[in-house]
Structure 1
Amino acid sequence: MENSFWTALVASSLAALVTTIGIFVIRRFERWGRDNISYFICFAAGVLISVSFLHIIPKAFSMNPKAPAYLFAGYILLHLFNRFVNAFVCDKTGDEQYALGLVPMLGIGFHSFIDGAIYSITFTVSIFTGVLATTGMVLHEFPEGIITYLLLVRGGFSEKMSLLLAFLAAALTTPLGMLASYPNISKIDQSFLGALLALSAGALVYVGATHLLPQAEAENKKYSFLALAAGMLVALAIILSKT
């Protein structure tokens, strides 16, 4: 058990490091990122929607018979959070774009926290199982950091605040999820994990389909569909790496 703890901690920390590198890379090339943010939004939507429908949702459904209800709950909860931000944050600050950064940050942060729990579970099963899970999961960490940072900047947050919030939500949540879940690993059965995955998928579907795509479509950039397709292809590569 001790070995599985340290290997899970190292793996989740590696995921956080990859995400952080993504944040700092886009920070270094921020002007280019700002100019092409519509393409990043489409790319993010392609990744989040595809991974959710092709991998997370089927997995959750196979683990928990009530997963559809949790999927719906995840979607609705993030919708309510978006309405709360628009009603009580955007109106008071006068910046209608705040929700564009806050809502994806919450959805990605929740998903990253659950990723940390998955590291705990897979490495407890065996080192080999954990390594296989890590190989697939780390692939999506780099673009996750980039997307979170750019959307926060687009939402009106300062560069320093965007950097901090992106790190906290997209990077730090993964090892925190691992540390929080490991002491309770014996209590996290397949059904409970399925419920968490379904909640996460509902949140990610909301972020991708209801929150990001309308923003990208409103700008009507020439190659936005190619960016969406690229996101889908990356998602497919992530899914295939886990099989």
Structure 2
Amino acid sequence: MTATSTPTLTKRPRQIQLAPSLMTMDLDQFKEQISFLNERANLYHIDIMDGHFVPNITLSPWFIEQTRKISDLPMSAHLMVTDAPFWVQQLIDIKCEMICMPAEVSNGVAFRLIDQIHDAGLKAGMVLNPETPVDTILPYIDLLDKVTIMTIDPGFAGQRFLSVCLDKIVHLRKLRDEHGYGYQIEMDGSTNLAHWKLISDADPDIYVIGRSGLFGLTDRIEDSWDQMVHEYEQSTGYRFDNGRYISKD
């Protein structure tokens, strides 16, 4: 299947996880938005950028600690950094539940970092930017708890959606089915009305939702969530139900 094909919708119940990207939330309404999302999201996506791997500098381990004061949801850190070992240790120190490293700078220390994360009782993931093939992580793919596929160029919200990257999701699902790997498949980038159908057809396990798909839809998080659900249902033919998408009759 290519990223632009539209196969017949699979009529099987399926459960996915929703991971709001807190980099894109309205920090003026931080407590209100987190309190609302705590009852609906499955986990939180925390972008950590160092200003070198990508130009921006964003969230940090400190932000995770502050969010934990008002949320018990798991935190998934998406590292966009050049010095992965430095940041991995900081996230281990605060017991961040999922630590996802950029494959582009992790090869050479990947086995050590994955073992270090697992030894701390946490989960390890790798992130593949648009130009990075799945083959890059094959030597240690069996050790991963999550693989994140970027469908935009990293570092900024609002980048152009790269539909060709959805083929990696299909590839990863096939590898997992064939070999019994245990990783979850996450997609990150421009998850919104314009792309819900394409993304749903590729069938990732975790959807990272940001400004264009959630936080920027209306001025109120309650209304934005309802609009997101409506847009997904209308685009895909799946019904949203308490954190799950279930096929319609």
TM-score, length-normalised on structure 2? Answer: 0.25
Structure with bigger helix share is: 1
